[in-house]
Structure formats: structure tokens, C-alpha cells
Amino acid sequence: MSKNFLSELTGSFATPALENPTGVMMEAAYRDLGLDWRYINCEIQPNDLANAVLGAKAMNWCGFNCSIPHKVSVISHLDDLGESARIIGAVNTVVNRDGKLIGENTDGRGFVESVKSSLELTKKRVVLFGAGGAARAVAVELALAGVAHITIVNRNQERGEELSKLVADNTSAGAEYHAWTKQYQIPADTDLVINVTSIGLYPNVDAELDIDTDSIKSSMVVADGIFNPPETRLIQTAKTKGCTTVNGLGMLVQQGAIAFEYWTGKTPSIEVMKTALSDALDITDL
Ligand code: NDP
């Protein structure tokens, strides 16, 4: 009887890679579907990215994730981009399609999936903090999902203005930039508040967004892209105000699930991925 000992390979290129738990949830989902697939978490320095991509191609990897700091720089090493990655201008998932490396972006769709059970997004008004790679992905996908308007609040004016123009030029949602020079008052008609900055990210867990907390109303859904820690200061404050909250673990699982589908063509079990992640991170309330 002929046996196949050749695993299909996927993985991640990033630095630092040490605390990236993605492989745990991906390999659990592969096992769950009986797939002989592996996910290899690689520490890749910027100067080594070109060789890492060539290596993945030479070894016939099915695909790989890119994280900080490679999401933009990887584009010059790819054969083509999917539609949302092209608009966003960043890639977090590379898919090997018949030997061609295609860049996709699943961060924003992952966020949209994670928030959908808490809020119907159509025609909603959004305040989004941040204008980096993840914020671009989240803003574009929220706009494509049908929100009415996004106010982008960011420290760096140029990046903030560029993102509001990106949304306005490429989608039917309205968008405006708001300078973050003093404590921000969230407009009372806001439906969804999202932090996609790195403020509050481990190890700076006590850092807080400069927001007037009195402007956070119980009618608002408050989400944080940060998953380490899952309970950021923003999420804690929003809970005390009676808001529905969404932490960054949902986005992490959902963006991974979409990448899984791109690579394998199969739908993974979200429950299996969540259980693997919560076991690995010692979290009980995922
Ligand atoms: P970037 O470095 O591209 O962007 C960082 C953003 O944070 C910028 O908008 C930057 O503002 C802002 N920022 C950082 N420090 C400060 C500060 N002290 N005061 C004000 N603004 C600040 O990072 P990413 O976009 O890749 O990641 C952003 C966050 O999203 C991270 O916390 C990351 O963990 C999270 N993320 C979560 C994912 C998930 O699956 N849950 C997936 C991807 C990211 P400025 O432009 O002014 O510099």
C-alpha cells in the first residue's frame, strides 16, 4: 500500500514571532479535519524576507501569514494581490495558487466576523482609533460591509487623512479624519467604537486611549483589536459603562479561519480554534 509522508506546509513570517499563538489554533483545526498539514512559526528579520518567500515557494508551501513588520514589504515579493489587499495596501495572508503567490488580507474581514454577532453593521456610525496596517484593513472591510460613516481618530495626521481618503474613494461609506490632539469626545450617535492602535498592548497594559470616558454610552458596542491582554483598559471601562464589548481574540480566530479556508478550501471549526487558543493562553472566557 502506498503511503504519503509529505505534509502540506503553512506558517508565519514575523519578528518578533515568540508570542504569536496562531500555529496552535491552525494545527488544532488541521487535526480536527484529519488534514496532514503543518503551521510553522518563523522568526524572519526584514533583510531575510525575500529569501524566506523564495524558500516557501521552493518548498511548495501552500501559503503563509505575514505579521509585523512584513505586511507591506512582502507585496514586492508576490505575483499578485486579491481585491481587498490591493485597496488596503497590506497583506497578512499569502496563498500559493498553482505556483503563483497571491497576497490577501483577512484582518479586516476577521474583525467584521467577530463583531457581527454583537451588531448589525448596515448604516452604522463608527469611531475608529488608529490608521496603521490593521486599522486600514478594519476600516475598508467595515465600509465594504455597509457601515454609513467612519470617523478616523489618529495621532499622525497624514496617516489618518490618507485612511479616510482611502475609505471615501474606494467604498460607499462616508469617512472623515479627526485630529487626536486633545481628549476625544465620542459623538453620542456613535454605534461602534474600535481601538486599532497598539495602545494597551502587552507589555504596556496600563496605557489608555485619551478619551473622555463620560462620552462612552451604554448603547455603544466597544471593540478592541488587541488580544494580549484580552481585557484591555478600554474593554474594562466600556463594561463599567454597560456597553457590549468585543475583544481582539475573536478577530484573531476569525482572520485565521479565513486564511485556513484560502489555503485548504475547507471550513475550520471555530470552536476547535477557540479552545486551542484559550488552552494555550490560559484564558477561560473566550
Ligand atoms: P501599526 O504599527 O501599523 O499601527 C499602530 C497604530 O497605533 C497607529 O495608528 C499609531 O498611530 C497608533 N499608536 C501607537 N502608539 C500610539 C500612542 N502612544 N498614541 C497614539 N497612537 C498610537 O500596527 P498594526 O496596525 O499592525 O496593529 C495595531 C493593533 O492591532 C495592535 O495592537 C495589534 O496587536 C492589533 N492587531 C490585532 C489583530 C487581531 O487579530 N486581533 C490583527 C492585527 C493587529 P500613529 O499613526 O500616530 O503612529
Average pLDDT over residues 139-159: 97
Is the shortest distance between the CB of 130 and ligand 1 below 6 Å?
yes
In angstroms, the CA 250 to CA 252 distance is 5
**Which ligand 1 atom is the nearest neighbour of the CA of 256?**
40
What pLDDT sits at residue 233? Answer: 97
Q: Percent of the chain scored above 90 by pLDDT?
A: 94
The answer on pLDDT for 198 being more than 80 is yes
Is the shortest distance between the CB of 192 and ligand 1 below 6 Å?
no
The band of 285, judged by pLDDT with boundaries at 50, 70 and 90, is low
Known active-site residue 217? no
Average pLDDT over residues 245-274: 97
**Which ligand 1 atom is the nearest neighbour of the CA of 250?**
41
Average pLDDT of the chain, as a whole number: 96
Average pLDDT over residues 259-263: 98
∠ CA 30-40-7, rounded to 5°: 55
Question: What are the tens digits of pLDDT across the range 95-139?
Answer: 999 999 999 999 999 999 999 999 999 999 999 999 998 999 999
Which residue's CA is the closest to the ligand 1 atom numbered 32?
198
What cell was used for 177? 479624519
What pLDDT sits at residue 9? Answer: 98
Q: Long-range CB contacts (< 8 A, 24+ apart) of 276-285? A: 276/24, 276/25, 276/27, 276/28, 276/29, 277/21, 277/24, 277/25, 277/249, 277/252, 277/253, 279/24, 280/21, 280/24, 280/25, 281/21, 281/228, 283/230, 283/249, 285/230
The band of 83, judged by pLDDT with boundaries at 50, 70 and 90, is confident
Choice among 1-10, 126-135, 187-196 with the minimum mean pLDDT: 1-10
Average pLDDT over residues 13-34: 96
What domains does the chain contain, in order, with CATH numbers? 8-105+251-281 (3.40.50.10860), 108-246 (3.40.50.720)
Which residue's CA is the closest to the ligand 1 atom numbered 46?
156
CB 134 within 8 A of CB 103: no
**Angle of helix 248-264 relative to helix 107-116, nearest 10 degrees?**
120
Is the shortest distance between the CB of 201 and ligand 1 below 6 Å?
yes
- Tell which residue, 226, 222, 220, 192, has the closest CA to residue 206: 226
The band of 283, judged by pLDDT with boundaries at 50, 70 and 90, is confident
The band of 249, judged by pLDDT with boundaries at 50, 70 and 90, is very high
Residue listed under C-alpha cell 475547507 = 266
Residue 3 burial by CB count (10 A; 0-12/13-18/19+): exposed, middle or buried? exposed
What cell was used for 129? 482609533
In angstroms, the CA 229 to CA 26 distance is 20
The answer on pLDDT for 286 being more than 70 is no
Is the shortest distance between the CB of 127 and ligand 1 below 6 Å?
no
Q: What's the chain look like in SS3? A: CCCCCCCEEEEEEECCCCCCCHHHHHHHHHHHCCCCEEEEEEECCHHHHHHHHHHHHHCCCCEEEECCCCCCHHHHHCCEECHHHHHHCCCCEEEEECCEEEEECCHHHHHHHHHHCCCCCCCCEEEEECCCHHHHHHHHHHHHCCCCEEEEEECCHHHHHHHHHHHHHHCCCEEEEEECCCCECCCCCCCEEEECCCCCCCCCCCCCCCECHHHCCCCCEEEECCCCCCCCHHHHHHHHCCCEEECHHHHHHHHHHHHHHHHHCCCCCHHHHHHHHHHHHCCCCC
The answer on pLDDT for 35 being more than 80 is yes
What pLDDT sits at residue 282? Answer: 84
The answer on pLDDT for 52 being more than 90 is yes
Radius of gyration of the chain (CA): 19
